[in-house]
Amino acid sequence: MSNDLEGRRLGTRLSHVSRSPKSQAGIVNPPVWRGSTVLLPTCAERRASGGKRLEQAWTYGIHGLPTHHALEDAVAMVEGGDRTAIQGSGLSAIVVAMFAFLKNGDHVLMTDGCYGPARRLCETMLKDFGVSTTYYRPQSTEAEVKALMKPNTKVVYTEAPSSVTFEMQDIPAIARAAHAGGAKLLMDNTWGIMNFQPFEKGVDVSIQALTKYVGGHSDILMGSVTTRNADWAAVKNAQITLGQYASPDDCFLALRGIRTLKIRLEQQQQHGLAVARWLQSRPEVARVLYPALPEDPGHAIWKRDFSGACSLFGVVLKPAYTQAQVDAVIDDLALFGIGASWGGYESLAQPVAEITRSVTGTDLGGPAMRLHIGLEDPADLIADLDQAMSKNLRA
Ligand SMILES: *Cc1c(COP(=O)(O)O)cnc(C)c1O
């Protein structure tokens, strides 16, 4: 079996990446390599291993073991980057990426649509350590971002679409503005996954919560920071300095998940679109916040830059309804779980309770909920939504 995947398509690569049966007793999957201590044959080699922590050398558990590296190679391939550093959660991936490129006196230009805990990082620890943050409108143009750049802006942070409100971002335009000002462009690519190729669009550092679709089964927490070679040392140094680590057992599960990423995501996109279109047809619904729909204001950019969509979107009801009615709809759903996170094989529903924004509005125009569509038959999901909405949304 040859591991030369150059020029092969994604489905083929996902089946063959990070496997070397010859070196592991013929077994198909890389095993779970557990270890803190790694024994070396001589003192001289032990001394020399100290400098190898940026390489895929095995020197000590926290620097990464073969199961970590197998997953890292697979994620780097999916995102089209050179190197990936696996982290214990999506949030720790954000923390590592920020600390890799920021120091006291620096400034961050942060999308107002960022994942909530990324905002908290800026408002608390980064602020306490002397890093200031300005928020910008997610839909900003190149000129608008340029106007907000300061001489000490070292990171421009993006996330497309926004958490909760789903505005699309023009990543290539924002990348041009960031690079003109000498800043790194960071992106939370958790929604895009394999459907957005960050490094072709000007991103320097791509962050993913592998907890979501890569894990895919709602049973692990994990994150990744992917870069080109030029930015790798800064990321790996931040990871090691901050003592970040992911369990090899969880890496094994993420690697199992990534083998089926493409088919799950394609199927879930189809289901998501079917449910979203049905919701659009309902008189109770004001808007579905989903860039994959032609009616969405971010659709043109999504179509230009993305090759597909995941199945997470928002639903805004007409203002005649109350949030209590939305809660009642969600409580009466039989097939949708109520809970945080997304990207598993099962459907979830959540009320959109609180939206925190600094420079954009927080009013969606009506009470809202967020849906994650799983692998259940969409006809059953639609029937479930139909019964819960009919029962609870009498105007
Ligand atoms: C869930 C999520 C994260 C954080 O991932 P965890 O593994 O839960 O820490 C980061 N960014 C986005 C957009 C997310 O949805």
Per residue of the chain (395 residues), give pLDDT as tens: 445 788 899 999 999 999 988 888 899 999 999 999 989 899 998 888 776 666 777 888 888 899 999 999 999 999 999 999 999 999 999 999 999 999 999 999 999 999 999 999 999 999 999 999 999 999 999 999 999 999 999 999 999 999 999 999 999 999 999 999 999 999 999 999 999 999 999 999 999 999 999 999 999 999 999 999 999 999 999 999 999 999 999 999 999 999 999 999 999 999 999 999 999 999 999 999 999 999 999 999 999 999 999 999 999 999 999 999 999 999 999 999 999 999 999 999 999 988 999 999 899 999 999 999 999 999 999 999 999 999 999 86
| Distance from C-alpha of 224 to C-alpha of 190, rounded to nearest angstrom | 10
Instruction: Give the pLDDT score at 293.
Output: 98
What's the CA-to-centroid distance between 384 and ligand 1, angstroms?
27
What's the CA-to-centroid distance between 333 and ligand 1, angstroms?
25
| Distance from C-alpha of 47 to C-alpha of 185, rounded to nearest angstrom | 36
**Ligand 1 proximity of 189 Cβ (cutoff 6 Å):** no
CB 226 within 8 A of CB 84: yes
Which atom of ligand 1 is found nearest the CA of 221? 7
**Ligand 1 proximity of 90 Cβ (cutoff 6 Å):** yes
**Ligand 1 proximity of 350 Cβ (cutoff 6 Å):** no
**Ligand 1 proximity of 115 Cβ (cutoff 6 Å):** yes
Residue 133, beta-bridge partner list: 108
Measured between its terminal Cα atoms, the distance across the chain in Å is: 63
CB 186 within 8 A of CB 157: yes
**Ligand 1 proximity of 250 Cβ (cutoff 6 Å):** no
| Distance from C-alpha of 386 to C-alpha of 253, rounded to nearest angstrom | 35
Q: In this structure, what are the phi and psi dihedrals at residue 193, rounded to the nearest 5 degrees? A: 50, -120
User: Whose CA is closest to atom 4 on ligand 1?
Assistant: 90
Overall pTM > 0.95: yes
**Ligand 1 proximity of 190 Cβ (cutoff 6 Å):** yes
Instruction: Give the pLDDT score at 53.
Output: 64
Helix (H/G/I), strand (E/B), else coil: 388: helix
CB 202 within 8 A of CB 158: no
Q: 217: how many CB neighbours lie within 10 A of its CB? A: 15
Instruction: Give the pLDDT score at 1.
Output: 43
User: DSSP letters along 127-152, please?
Assistant: HHTT-EEEEE-TT--HHHHHHH--TT
Instruction: Give the pLDDT score at 354.
Output: 84
What's the CA-to-centroid distance between 342 and ligand 1, angstroms?
9
Buried (b) or exposed (e) across 375-387, using 16+ Cβ within 10 A?
A: bbebeebbebbee
**Ligand 1 proximity of 188 Cβ (cutoff 6 Å):** yes
**Ligand 1 proximity of 204 Cβ (cutoff 6 Å):** no
What one-character DSSP code corresponds to residue 30?
P
CB 261 within 8 A of CB 194: yes
**Ligand 1 proximity of 224 Cβ (cutoff 6 Å):** no
What's the CA-to-centroid distance between 120 and ligand 1, angstroms?
13
